[in-house]
Chain A
Amino acid sequence: MNRTKIIGRILFYITSLLGSLYLIITLYALICLLTGWNTASYGNGMFLHINYPFTITPLMNMDNNVSYKVFSFLLPLSFYTIFFLLSAQIFKLFTRRKLFTKFHLLILKRYYRLNILLPIVCTAIAAVFVTVEGGIAILIAVHFILGIFVFFLAEIFRQGLHLQDEQDLYI
């Protein structure tokens, strides 16, 4: 169990860091796009750079239209911010002394619902406004499979919680 906690803790820190980075970048990009700060268009205004703060070195590039900015840029960034932060919660629960709790089950449910539903729904909505690349289907499939796996894990946790509650009633 100690090994599980160590691995869980390491993965928690990694995913927390990734989630935090995605959050910072998403918020920074949102501020830049809303205010025009640190942005530079190029290619006859067809494309846009978002530069590193207080520099002219490009950090991110995108097509310079609203649909692309929202559905092909901000939406994926936001999704992966949420994905990594929730992944961090998943790994954190394996560092806890008591594994089978209602709260942990809730975390798992939220995670598998996010992975199964959100990529498909977001891509379907985005497809109305922008061209969705073929590689996105692979990502959707990966998240779907991950969601299914966590669904089964949640079922195991539900059973574990039930058995634990019963065991707690043996005085």
Chain B
Amino acid sequence: MAIVVNIDVMLAKRKMQSKELAEQIGITQGNLSVLKTGKAKGIRFETLQAICTVLECQPGDILEFVPD
């Protein structure tokens, strides 16, 4: 997929683990893994908002367009 989700970079910057992020944004670790590995078909705005709130970042910090 051309849209890459760079959550790991922000997690490292905020010194947070995936498990903690998943709990705080209210999704399962499995779903977070689906997001991180690029298998997700899409992301809901409310999920994106929750991620940006917890990681204190902008959507552009975690979403990147990489042409195929």
Contact = CB atoms under 8 A, between A and B. Distances in A.
Answer yes or no: are A and B bound together in one complex. yes
Interface in B21-56: 27, 31-32, 34-35, 39-44, 47
A138 interface: no
Interface in A136-171: 166, 169-171
Interface string A8-33: 00000000000000000000000000
A170 B39 contact: no
Contacts of B41: 166, 169-170
Contacts of A171: 27, 31-32, 34-35, 40, 42-44, 47
Contacts of B40: 169-171
Interface string A31-73: 0000000000000000000000000000000000000000000
Nearest to A166: B41
A72 B39 CA distance: 56
Contacts of B32: 171
B32 to A, nearest CB: 8
**Which among A166, A169, A170, A171 has the highest number of chain B CB atoms within 10 Å?**
A171
Contacts of A169: 34, 39-42
Nearest to A169: B41
A171 to B, nearest CB: 5
A168 to B, nearest CB: 8
A169 B34 CA distance: 8
Contacts of B39: 169
A49 to B, nearest CB: 62
Nearest to A170: B42
Interface of B: 27, 31-32, 34-35, 39-44, 47
Closest 5 CB pairs of A and B: A169-B41, A170-B42, A171-B35, A171-B40, A171-B31
18 contacts: A169-B34, A169-B39, A169-B40, A169-B42, A170-B40, A170-B41, A170-B42, A170-B43, A170-B44, A171-B31, A171-B32, A171-B34, A171-B35, A171-B40, A171-B42, A171-B43, A171-B44, A171-B47
